[in-house]
Amino acid sequence: MEPWIALSIAAAAFQTLRFMLQKQLSMGPLSAWGATLARFVYSVPFIVALALGYLLASGQAWPAVTAEFWVYATIGGLAQILATWCVVALFAERNFAVGITFKKTEVVQTALVGFVILGDRITWPAMGAVLLGLVGVLILSQMPDIGGRWWARLCNRAAALGLISGACFAVSAVGYRAATLEIASTDPLLRAGLSLAIVTVLQAAALSLWLAWREPGQVGRVMAAHRTAVWIGVTGMAGSLCWFTAFTLQNAAMVFAVGQVEVIFSLLAAVLFFGERISAREGVAITLITLSVVGVVLLR
C-alpha cells in the first residue's frame, strides 16, 4: 500500500473519532462554535511539541518559507474553521453517519479547486468514480418532508451545511497542500508538521478572540470541558498530521477520495456509539459512496 493511501485512511479514522467527541460536546455544555474551538485549542500543545521535537531530533534547521506560504496557510486555516463549524452544526440536523457523508462532497469540490489553483489532475475513470459518490450524496440529501423534489433536496438546511462544509474543506485542503509546497525542505513530515503547527496556533488564537467577542463565557466552558476536549485535540492533531503529510505526497482530491472511508467509520460510530438507525435509502447512498472510494483507488 502506498504511504499516502495509508495516511489518508488513518486520517479518516482519527477524524471520525474527533467528530464523535465534538458531537458529544455540542449536545452538552458547548455551542457549535465552542466545540469547533476545542478542536483547535487543545491540538496546539501536542502539534507544537511534536513539530519542534521532530525538528530537533532530525537535526534539521528551520526551513525557509515563502510569502505565499502565509497566504495559503491563512486561507486554508480560515476555511477549515468554517468547515468544522458547519459539520458540528449539521449534526443537529441529521444523524452522525449522514452528516459525515454530506461532508464528502468535498472530494468533487477539491478536484475542481485543485485543478484551478494548482493544476492538479485526476484521470477520467477516477473522476467517474468520484461522480458515483456524488450520486450517493444526492440520494442521501432527501429529507422526509420534501418527497422526491430534487431541487428541495439541495435547498434544505442540512444539505446547505453539508455542501458549504465540503466547499470549505476543499479550499482548506488545496490551501494546505499549496502551503506545504512553499516550505524549502524535501522532508514531507517536516513540511507537514511545521505547516500544521503554524496554522493551528493561528486558528486557536483567532477563534478564541472571535468567541470572546461573540459568545462571552464560551471560551471558559471550552476550558472547563478539558477532560473530553483534550481528546478532541489529540485526535484532531493526529488526523491533521496524516492529512498534511498525505497532501505533500499526492494531490488533495485523491487524498480526500480515499479518505471517504470515513463514511464507513462514521456508520459504525452512529450504530455502535450513538444508537442511531440507518434507513435503507441511507444505506444505499452510503454503499454508492463506498464504491466510489474503491473506484478512485483502483482507477487513479
What is the average pLDDT across 271-284?
75
Structure confidence by residue, pLDDT tens digits, 14-48: 988 887 787 777 667 778 788 788 888 999 999 99
Q: State how far the Cα of 46 lies from the Cα of 30, in Å rounded to an integer.
A: 22
Alpha-helix residue ranges (DSSP H) falling in 154-225? 157-180, 188-214, 218-224
Q: State how far the Cα of 284 lies from the Cα of 286, in Å rounded to an integer.
A: 5
Query: Does residue 53 surpass a pLDDT of 80?
Result: yes
Query: Does residue 95 surpass a pLDDT of 70?
Result: no
Query: Does residue 146 surpass a pLDDT of 60?
Result: no
Cα dihedral across residues 246, 248, 250, 256: positive or negative: positive
Instruction: Output the pLDDT for position 54.
Output: 92
pLDDT band, very low/low/confident/very high, at 74 (cuts 50, 70, 90): very high
Neighbours of 196 (CB within 10 A): 25
Hey, which residues does 183 pair with through a beta bridge? 65
pTM of the model: 0.76
Query: Does residue 258 surpass a pLDDT of 50?
Result: yes
